[in-house]
Amino acid sequence: MTQRSDLVLADLTPQEARTARALLRWSQVRLAAKANLSEATISDFENERRILRVEKRAAIRSAFVLAGVVFKAEGPVLQPGQLQRQSSPDNRARRHRL
């Protein structure tokens, strides 16, 4: 049975996911790895092709929160000082530069 705290944690829209991912400069691959989901799941959710179950939305939101994203009424924002720690490129971007 889903508890109220799970519903609050899972309250995530595709737009919020795209915005939070952009703030962290994460690829869909990196978000999928952090949330323990497939890249197709992330892509389908962000492009509104799939409605995710509460558990999957909670996993995505939790990955963002652990990385320093705060969800406010006006949208996701980074905690102060998080941009410097999160700005390193993910492995896919690094491979393209080699």
Listed in sequence order, the residues at least 6 apart from 24 whose beta carbon sits closer than 8 Å to its beta carbon are 64, 67, 68, 69, 78, 82, 86
Q: DSSP letter at 12?
A: -
- Which tokens hold the place of 68? 């320093």
- Which tokens go with 84? 């410097």
Helix (H), strand (E) at residue 58:
helix 54-66
5/55 Cα distance (integer angstroms): 12
Long-range contacts of 44-52 (CB under 8 A, 24+ apart): 45/14, 45/17, 46/14, 46/17, 46/18, 46/21, 47/14, 48/14
What residue segments make up the domains of the chain, in order of their start? Answer: 4-97
Q: Mind listing the pLDDT tens digit for each residue in 21-70?
A: 999 999 999 999 999 999 999 999 999 999 999 999 999 999 999 999 99
Note the pLDDT of residue 6. Answer: 44
Task: Give the pLDDT of residue 4.
Answer: 45
Could you tell me the two tokens for 94? 């690094």
- CATH number for domain 4-97, candidates 1.10.260.40, 3.50.50.60, 1.10.20.10, 2.102.10.10: 1.10.260.40
Residue 81 confidence (pLDDT): 73
Please tell me the predicted confidence (pLDDT) of residue 80. 82
Looking at residue 10, its pLDDT comes to 59
* pLDDT(7) > 50: no
What pLDDT, on a 0 to 100 scale, did the predictor assign at position 83?
Answer: 56
Q: How many residues does the chain have?
A: 98
pLDDT at 82: 63
